Amino acid sequence: MDYNSKLRLDGKVALVTGAGQGIGLACAQALAATGADVICTDLDEERAMAAAEHLRTDGHKARGIALNVTDRAALEEMAQAMPALDILVCNAGIVTTRSAAEMPADEWDAVINVNLTGVFRCCQAFGRQMVTAGRGAIVNIGSMSGQIVNTPQPQSHYNASKAGVHQLTRSLAVEWATRGVRVNAVAPTYIATPLLDNVEGGDALVARWKDLTPMARLGEPHEVASAVQFLASDAASLITGSILNVDGGYTCL
Ligand code: NAD
C-alpha cells in the first residue's frame, strides 16, 4: 500500500468557502500544497482573488471567485456551470457575542443563515453534482461549540449553528454513503484568526480559554487545515459522518 499517495490530491478540484483568510485560507493552502486545483471563494471578492494569487505565487493551481454562501441562486448557478467538484470545504462562518435575552432577531438569523443554512445550501448545490458523478469528499467546518458551551462569552446562536452543522454532516453522510460521497466535519477549539476579533473580552478572555484547554494554547489555522486535508483525501476512504475534534483536548474535560 502506498500510504503517501493516498494523501495526495493531484488532479482533484477543490472549492473552499470563506477562503479569503483564517482557517479557509489555510485549508486552501493545504489542499493546493498536496496537489489540488483550488477554487478560493469568499464573500469578499478581493480576499478571494488575493488568496488565489497567493497560492499561484507558491506555484499551485488556483482561481478566486466571489461567493456568498447565503446566496442560493449564485450557489446553484456556480455548481451547474462547472464539472462536479472532487472536494468541497464548507468553511465560511461568522460569530458575535450576545446573551440570548438580548439577541435581536436579525442577529440570530444572520448567524444561522451563514453558519448552518449556508453549509446546507453549499452541500446541496455541489453535493448533488458529486452524487451524480458518484464521487466526492465534503468537509464542513464545525466547532467544539457544537458539543460544549463556551464560557464565559454568551453565543447561543453560534453554538446552535455548529451543533446543526455536525448533525447535518452525519445526516448527509448516511444519505450519500453508497453514492461515493463522504461527508465529515472538523470541530476546532479557539483558533488564532480574525474571527476572534468579533468576540469581546481581549487578552483576559484568551487567558481564560487557555486555562480551559489541556494543551493550554490556542490553535493555529494550519492545524485545522491538516485535519481537513486528511479527511478530503483517500487516506480517509472509510471515514464518513465523523466529527474530528481539533481542540487541544478541550472537549475531554
Ligand atoms: P474568519 O473571520 O477569519 O474568516 C472567515 C471568512 O469567511 C472571511 O474571509 C469572510 O469574508 C468569509 N465569509 C463570511 N461570511 C461569508 C459568507 N456569507 N459567504 C462567504 N464567505 C463569507 O474566520 P475563521 O476563524 O477562519 O473561521 C472559519 C470557520 O471556522 C468558521 O466556520 C468558524 O465558525 C470556524 N471556527 C473558527 C474558530 C476560531 O476560533 N477561529 C473555532 C472553531 C470554528
- 220-230 pLDDT tens trace: 999 999 999 99
Nearest to 179 by CA among 124, 135, 140: 135
Best mutation site among 111, 123, 195, 206 for ligand 1, i.e. most ligand atoms within 8 A of its Cβ?
Answer: 195
What are the catalytic residues?
Answer: 158
Residue 198 has pLDDT above 80, yes or no: no
Closest CA to 158 of 223, 100, 211: 100
What would the mean pLDDT of 124-147 be, rounded to a whole number? 98
Determine the average pLDDT of the residues in 168-175: 99
Sheet of 37-42, strand order? 62-66, 37-42, 13-16, 87-90, 136-141, 181-188, 243-246
Q: Considering only CA atoms, which residue is closest to atom 19 of ligand 1?
A: 68
pLDDT of residue 28: 98
Evaluate: CB of 22 within 6 angstroms of ligand 1: yes
Average pLDDT of the segment spanning 164-181: 99
Query: Which residue from 15, 69, 89, 94 has its CB within 8 A of the most atoms of ligand 1, so it is best to mutate?
Result: 94
Q: How many CB atoms lie within 10 A of CB 184?
A: 25
> Longest Cα pair distance anywhere in the chain, in angstroms?
56
Question: In the predicted model, what is the mean pLDDT of the chain?
Answer: 97
R_g of the chain, CA atoms, integer Å: 17
pTM, 2 dp: 0.99
Q: Does ligand 1 have an atom closer than 6 angstroms to the CB of 137?
A: no
CA of 197 to the centre of ligand 1 (A): 11
Distance 22 CA to ligand 1 centre (A): 7
CA distance linking residue 234 with residue 80, whole number of Å: 25
pLDDT at res. 201: 82
* Contact 21 CB / ligand 1 (< 6 Å): yes
pLDDT at residue 174 greater than cutoff 90: yes
Cα 195 to the chain's mean position, in Å?
13
CA distance 156 to 103: 9
Give yes or no for residue 188 CB within 6 A of ligand 1.
Answer: yes
Count how many residues are written for the chain: 253
| Distance from the alpha carbon of residue 92 to the mean position of ligand 1, in angstroms | 5
**Stretch 129-151: mean pLDDT, rounded?**
98
- Which runs of E-coded beta strand occur in 143-214? 181-188
